[in-house]
């Protein structure tokens, strides 16, 4: 049978629900037939509306559940298992058979005429009674009915026993073995920490506090069902030990840990090390936030904020990690100058220890509101460490675009280019930054140092480092000049078809993508510039000519839209009032419009005007067409009345023209003009 579409199923669902609700004295047998007819298969469920209507019908009378079960039972196939009828009832009604249903089946078995029928009914009753949803009284009623019945030992055993599958026994053994192992480990943990509880309460024994903190955060994102947070620590130890651990975390978070500052954290990060107190202090801050016991940021040690920014990654839950990082930024911004010093010390120590990237910068700059200490730190770092590792420099500049104004960035770039110690890759980066921020002032230096393939290599390198995208947010004239130069320099070595990504991202694809993006940016500028025209005529950009020509057409369209001024209400009213034509084209349009209206009215009005162009007999019936001149004159009369409101004077009926030709209608004239329409 072909399955019904969703619309038909929807209609049937509501139709059955309505029929159940509105049919008086609806029998269970009839209702069962209806449910069979609306379902696609015997194992299909009833749709929502019909299921609710059926539930309401069953609840209306206490005996209806047994009657509906009896209707299903009437179609029972003895060759199937005894669970089929109960399962069908559950599937259709969305409820378990009640006690009345089981008693009804037992009563039918007691009055059965054949042994096979009785055994079948008893088997169905047993199948329902042994299910966990059956109440205890009904279960024992079934037991009392089966126990004395001859030949029902197998049914009685089925009712009173439950076979445990091998996999369930194996699973129980595994769980029990794991429980015993965990209990042994827990006892060992408690025994090992017991002598150190007093020290742990005041932040001592950082190894133990670190171990507990990792357990505190462990399993936050898994679905194993294991306890997390403080309960996880209790499961690993006991309540007394957990109390000492929580006190130690709080002590470190609120009073500090002494001897470890921003510089030590930075060096450890560069060397891939982690202090034990880091996880403990992060757990302490997280617990204070969760319990709403967090002191004011100014009352907490600033090195705690540095620890959170360094090792916040140990918190697997993104929302909680973001909450901790927001707190750390708030603490650093209590006094932005002091906070900036901490950040610079952290980054500086990491760079001095050999770090090639700016650790944690994305956490500090992710969001427009994150300025203050971060802004000052980036300003200081870019001003004092102009020759830091290239990856770190790019990272700092990407963050600087968000945090520093463009004038300050230009000053930093010019100072770096004037510094003789800035060479190699770092000088290339600063050259690109200066050019990206102020193409007009730095184009000569850029063109002198880079051209052709060198410029393409530079753009490609900085694209990989993320600087092209970072400085893409710069708008206005600098952006337009930069995009123009990008097309001029890179378009000579790239082709439009290289921008079609097919699999891997390659160097030619990146360069072509830059050129395409620059052309798109130039297209989006509504000011009537000549950049696209100049680029289109450049002989070195032949491969891009069609793209540039299309971009120029799009820019012209954008300029027209941008320069368009909506007419005033009075101008719109005057244009739609049907006034006199303003030029010959307007005059022609008006006259043609009236002629077309006259033509349409010949057969549509109630006076049959088309007869005016025909001779009629004594009976008023049309006979022959009237002569041409009379038809012309009649048309002129009709036109003059219609054109008068436009201040248009219809022409004389006939005029002589050159080459011995003539015109029946030389054409209407605008009153007060000398030119014909």
Q: Which residue has the higher pLDDT, 506 or 561?
A: 561
E strand or H helix that includes residue 625: strand 622-625
**DSSP at 42:** T
The pLDDT of residue 168? 83
The pLDDT of residue 677? 41
* pTM of the predicted protein model: 0.58
Question: What's the token pair of residue 316?
Answer: 């697997």
pLDDT over 70 for what percent of the chain?
85
For residue 464, name the pLDDT band (cuts at 50, 70, 90).
very low
- Report the number of secondary-structure helices (H) and strands (E) in the chain: 34, 6
Dihedral angle of Cα 395, 400, 401, 406, to the nearest 10 degrees: -140
Is the model's pLDDT at 178 over the cut of 80? yes
The pLDDT of residue 50? 92
For residue 542, name the pLDDT band (cuts at 50, 70, 90).
confident
The pLDDT of residue 676? 42
Of 395, 411, 350, 401, the residue nearest 375 (C-alpha): 401
Is the model's pLDDT at 471 over the cut of 80? no
Identity of the highest mean pLDDT range in 94-103, 405-414, 493-502, 647-656: 94-103
Burial tier of 238 (Cβ tally within 10 Å: 0-12, 13-18, 19+): middle
pLDDT, tens only, 632-667: 888 888 888 888 888 887 655 665 455 556 555 555
Q: How far apart are alpha carbons 514 and 508 in whole angstroms?
A: 10
The pLDDT of residue 1? 41
For residue 437, name the pLDDT band (cuts at 50, 70, 90).
confident
Is the model's pLDDT at 474 over the cut of 70? no
The pLDDT of residue 499? 66
Three-class secondary structure of residue 662 per DSSP? strand
Helix/strand/coil (H/E/C) assignment for every residue in 365-421: HCCCCCCCHHHHHHHHHHHHCCCCCHHHHHHHHHHHHHHCCHHHHHHHHHHHHHCCC
The pLDDT of residue 71? 93
For residue 533, name the pLDDT band (cuts at 50, 70, 90).
confident
Ramachandran category for residue 12: left, alpha or beta (phi over 0 → left; psi -120 to 50 → alpha): alpha
Is the model's pLDDT at 674 over the cut of 50? no
Is the model's pLDDT at 2 over the cut of 50? no
Q: Which residue has the higher pLDDT, 287 or 456?
A: 287
Of 540, 544, 537, the residue nearest 515 (C-alpha): 544
Three-class secondary structure of residue 661 per DSSP? strand
Mean pLDDT of 230-237: 91
**DSSP at 614:** E
**DSSP at 676:** B
E strand or H helix that includes residue 623: strand 622-625
For residue 603, name the pLDDT band (cuts at 50, 70, 90).
confident
Identity of the highest mean pLDDT range in 39-53, 213-227, 278-292: 278-292
- Listed in sequence order, the residues at least 6 apart from 676 whose beta carbon sits closer than 8 Å to its beta carbon are 651, 666, 667, 668, 669
Place of tokens 């290239």: 390
Main-chain phi, psi angles of 389, to 5 degrees = -50, 140
HSE (CB half, 13 Å, CA atoms) of 20?
A: 26
pLDDT, tens only, 321-369: 889 989 999 999 999 999 999 999 999 999 999 888 887 766 666 655 4
Is the model's pLDDT at 455 over the cut of 70? no
Is the model's pLDDT at 90 over the cut of 90? yes
Inter-residue contact 424 to 398 (CB < 8 Å): no
pLDDT, tens only, 544-567: 888 888 888 888 888 888 888 888
The pLDDT of residue 193? 94
Of 46-55, 148-157, 441-450, the range with the lowest mean pLDDT is: 441-450
Place of tokens 């739609």: 576
Is the model's pLDDT at 307 over the cut of 50? yes
Is the model's pLDDT at 472 over the cut of 70? no
Is the model's pLDDT at 13 over the cut of 70? yes
Helix/strand/coil (H/E/C) assignment for every residue in 266-306: HHHHHCCCCCHHHHHHHHHHHHHHHCCCCCCHHHCCHHHHH
Is the model's pLDDT at 459 over the cut of 70? no
Average pLDDT across the chain, whole number: 83
Q: How far apart are alpha carbons 82 and 89 in whole angstroms?
A: 12
**DSSP at 657:** E
Ramachandran category for residue 580: left, alpha or beta (phi over 0 → left; psi -120 to 50 → alpha): beta
Is the model's pLDDT at 3 over the cut of 70? no
- Listed in sequence order, the residues at least 6 apart from 652 whose beta carbon sits closer than 8 Å to its beta carbon are 666
Of 346, 359, 351, the residue nearest 260 (C-alpha): 346
Of 6-15, 535-544, 643-652, the range with the lowest mean pLDDT is: 643-652
Is the model's pLDDT at 171 over the cut of 50? yes
The pLDDT of residue 675? 43
Q: Which residue has the higher pLDDT, 624 or 285?
A: 285
For residue 502, name the pLDDT band (cuts at 50, 70, 90).
low
């Amino acid at each position: 049978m072909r399955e019904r579409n969703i619309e038909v199923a929807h209609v049937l669902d509501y139709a059955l629900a309505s029929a159940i609700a509105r049919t008086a004295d609806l029998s269970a047998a009839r209702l069962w037939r209806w449910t069979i007819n609306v379902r696609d298969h015997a194992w299909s469920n009833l749709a929502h509306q019909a299921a609710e209507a059926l539930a309401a019908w069953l609840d209306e009378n206490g005996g209806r559940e047994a009657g509906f079960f009896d209707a299903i039972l009437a179609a029972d196939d003895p060759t199937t298992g005894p669970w089929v009828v109960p399962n069908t009832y559950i599937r259709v009604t969305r409820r378990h058979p009640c006690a009345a249903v089981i008693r009804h089946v037992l009563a039918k078995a007691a009055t059965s005429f054949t042994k096979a029928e009785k055994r079948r009914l008893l088997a169905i009753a047993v199948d329902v009674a042994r299910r966990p949803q059956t109440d205890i009284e009904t279960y024992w009623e079934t037991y009392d009915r089966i126990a004395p019945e001859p030949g029902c030992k197998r049914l009685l055993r089925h009712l009173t026993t439950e076979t445990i599958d091998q996999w369930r026994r194996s699973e129980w053994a595994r769980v029990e073995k794991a429980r015993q192992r965990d209990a042994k480990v827990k006892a060992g943990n408690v025994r090992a920490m017991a002598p150190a509880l007093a020290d742990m309460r005041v932040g001592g024994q950082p190894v133990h506090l670190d171990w507990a903190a990792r357990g505190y955060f462990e399993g936050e994102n898994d679905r194993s069902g294991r306890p997390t947070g403080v309960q996880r620590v209790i499961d690993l130890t006991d309540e007394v030990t957990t109390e000492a651990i929580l006190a130690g975390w709080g002590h470190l978070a609120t009073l500090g840990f002494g001897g470890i500052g921003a510089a030590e954290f930075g060096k450890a990060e560069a060397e891939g090390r982690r202090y034990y107190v880091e996880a403990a202090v992060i757990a302490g801050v997280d617990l204070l936030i969760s319990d709403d016991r967090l002191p004011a940021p100014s009352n907490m040690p600033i090195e705690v904020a540095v620890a959170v920014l360094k090792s916040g990654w140990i918190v697997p839950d993104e929302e909680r990690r973001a909450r901790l990082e927001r707190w750390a930024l708030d603490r650093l911004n209590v006094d932005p100058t002091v906070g900036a010093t901490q950040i610079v010390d952290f980054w500086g120590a990491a760079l001095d220890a050999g770090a090639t990237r700016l650790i944690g910068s994305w956490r500090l700059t992710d969001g427009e509101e994150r300025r203050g200490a971060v802004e000052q730190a980036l300003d200081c770092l870019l001003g004092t460490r102009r020759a830091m590792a290239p990856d770190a420099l790019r990272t700092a500049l990407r963050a600087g675009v968000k945090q520093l104004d463009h004038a300050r960035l230009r000053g930093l770039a010019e100072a770096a280019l004037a510094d003789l110690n800035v060479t190699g890759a770092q000088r290339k980066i600063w050259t690109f930054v200066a050019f990206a921020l102020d193409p007009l002032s730095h184009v000569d230096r850029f063109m002198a140092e880079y051209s052709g393939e060198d410029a393409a290599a530079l753009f490609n390198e900085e694209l990989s480092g993320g600087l092209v995208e970072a400085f893409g947010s710069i708008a206005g004239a600098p952006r337009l000049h930069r995009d123009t130069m990008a097309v001029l320099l890179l378009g000579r070595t790239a082709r439009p078809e290289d921008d079609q990504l097919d699999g891997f991202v390659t160097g030619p694809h990146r360069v072509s993508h830059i050129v395409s993006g620059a052309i798109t940016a130039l297209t989006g500028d509504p000011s009537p510039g000549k950049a696209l025209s100049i680029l289109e005529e450049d002989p070195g950009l032949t491969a891009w000519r069609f793209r540039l020509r299309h971009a120029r057409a799009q820019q012209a369209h954008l300029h027209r839209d941008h320069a368009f001024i909506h007419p005033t209400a009075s101008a719109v009213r005057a244009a739609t009032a049907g006034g006199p034509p303003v030029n010959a084209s307007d005059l022609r349009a008006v006259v043609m419009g009236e002629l077309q209206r006259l033509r349409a009215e010949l057969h549509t009005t109630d006076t049959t005007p088309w007869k005016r162009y025909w001779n009629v007999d004594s009976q008023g019936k049309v006979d022959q067409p009237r002569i041409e001149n009379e038809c012309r004159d009649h048309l002129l009369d009709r036109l003059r009345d219609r054109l008068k409101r436009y201040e248009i004077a219809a022409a004389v009926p006939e005029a002589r023209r050159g080459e011995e030709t003539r015109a029946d209608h030389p054409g209407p004239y605008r009153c007060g003009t000398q030119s014909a329409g």
